[in-house]
A and B are shown apart, each in its own frame.
Chain A
């Protein structure tokens, strides 16, 4: 979706603010939100649903809130939508903690599940999958990214749609976020690293001698005919006109 999260190339956001000696977490609620998401991502929702929940925040809210507020929002959105928690019980519980800030959630231990989670931290949890098909593209192939504007989840950012690039690496197949985020199945497909020249993405405002590398699922790509199509097609038109 063309949400507030898709900020690549956006102007006017102001300087990058760097905090010296930044703590890993700034508040206790950030700690709990981080731990809650690690504990629930996988069993209760998948990474694509998680990202899409953040993208659906209002752009004003997204841009004005801190990072772990995004994580809290996507857990709320996903768990309410999936019926894991009910709106009424959640609202009542929030009011309860607002009215009595000395209250804390219950403390319940489950060493087996805690160890299982730490095992996932140590070993990871890949979304790669093997598929029977062969990759459609190979390194060196010229490709054109599709011009799309899906209302759902996608990992093809706006700045890289309808752009020409070159395949530099073929990765394995991975779960396709555009379907996985919407309960439409894993639809695994190859992921490619595509190199784009700065000028292709940003035109005459691009910095010289710069490139952007972006990982694209196969459905984001089509074969590019010719080498520099936008300019080539213009030239062709003028040649035809000259005839």
Chain B
């Protein structure tokens, strides 16, 4: 093969060039789309509507609303922990990749963090599409084996040794996400204000909810 002939040393273990370059990826995506459209298997507006929904309407602001309600309504919080899919449906939140959701609560004794070591399973209806770091191999490799060190060194989140660290590897069709602890200093805030403290990272379990104290001082 030319690849090995050009190489001065021993042959490369893998003869193909990876990954594909941007130009080729663009051409392949267009080729696939054009063939499937011509065959009547997909339509342009299917693609556009799906993209629009996840770029604009479905994202972590929905999960933040659910968390804020759970912080202010103890009965709703219990329903959320008992059956997250049904509790979210009360707020008209649900759908694809959230057919079976489980929400796990962070407390002073237990810290939960979510991952998918085999692919990138993630609760779309409450968090939207996952960030790239969640999908890339580094996070998936580390969080399951060294969760405490990973949270401390890579996310700046220190979880004391006496707090049990629970990793949830989303290996089946159940989609996990985290109910973060309500931050100190948030007493008396409205549900809408509280939702502003809830970040995507806090619902994955790699961060705590934002503190209202710092933001009030600004």
Query: Which residues does A use to contact B, with CB under 8 Å?
Result: 5-11, 13-19, 22, 24-25, 27-29, 31-36, 38-40, 43-44, 51, 54, 58, 60-61, 63-67, 69, 72, 75-76, 79, 84-85, 89-90, 93-98, 101, 103-111, 113-114, 117-118, 120-128, 155-157, 159-160, 171, 174, 191, 193, 201-202, 205-217
Interface size on B, residues (CB 8 A): 86
Minimum C-beta distance from A144 to chain B (A): 17
| Closest residue of B by beta carbon distance from A37 | B50
In the assembled complex, the Cα of A120 lies from the Cα of B178 at a distance in Å of 25
A-facing mask of B72-116, CB < 8 A → 1, else 0? 000000000000000000000011111110000000000000000
Residues of A within 8 A of B189 (CB): none
Residues of A within 8 A of B145 (CB): 8-9, 159, 201-202, 205-206
Residues of A within 8 A of B150 (CB): 16
| Interface-central residue, A85, A128, A213, by most chain B CB under 10 Å | A213
Residues of B within 8 A of A13 (CB): 137-138, 141-142
Residues of A within 8 A of B99 (CB): 124-126, 128
Contacts A25-B55, A40-B42, A211-B164 given; does A217 touch B29 at CB 8 Å: no
Minimum C-beta distance from B198 to chain A (A): 18
Task: Select one of A5, A65, A114, A210 contacting B167, CB under 8 A.
Answer: A210
Query: Which residues does B use to contact A, with CB under 8 Å?
Result: 14, 16, 18-20, 22-39, 41-51, 53-55, 58, 94-100, 117-120, 125, 128-129, 131-133, 135-142, 144-150, 154-155, 161-174
B169 and A8 contact, CB distance less than 8 A:
yes
Residues of B within 8 A of A104 (CB): 30
| Interface-central residue, A14, A63, A118, A159, by most chain B CB under 10 Å | A118
Task: Select one of B31, B51, B118, B146 contacting A25, CB under 8 A.
Answer: B51
B162 and A209 contact, CB distance less than 8 A:
yes
B27 and A174 contact, CB distance less than 8 A:
no
B42 and A36 contact, CB distance less than 8 A:
yes
A-B contact sample (16 more), CB < 8 A, given A36-B33, A76-B28, A214-B171:
A16-B133, A17-B132, A18-B133, A24-B128, A61-B16, A65-B19, A90-B31, A101-B23, A114-B46, A120-B95, A123-B96, A127-B173, A157-B169, A171-B174, A191-B172, A209-B163
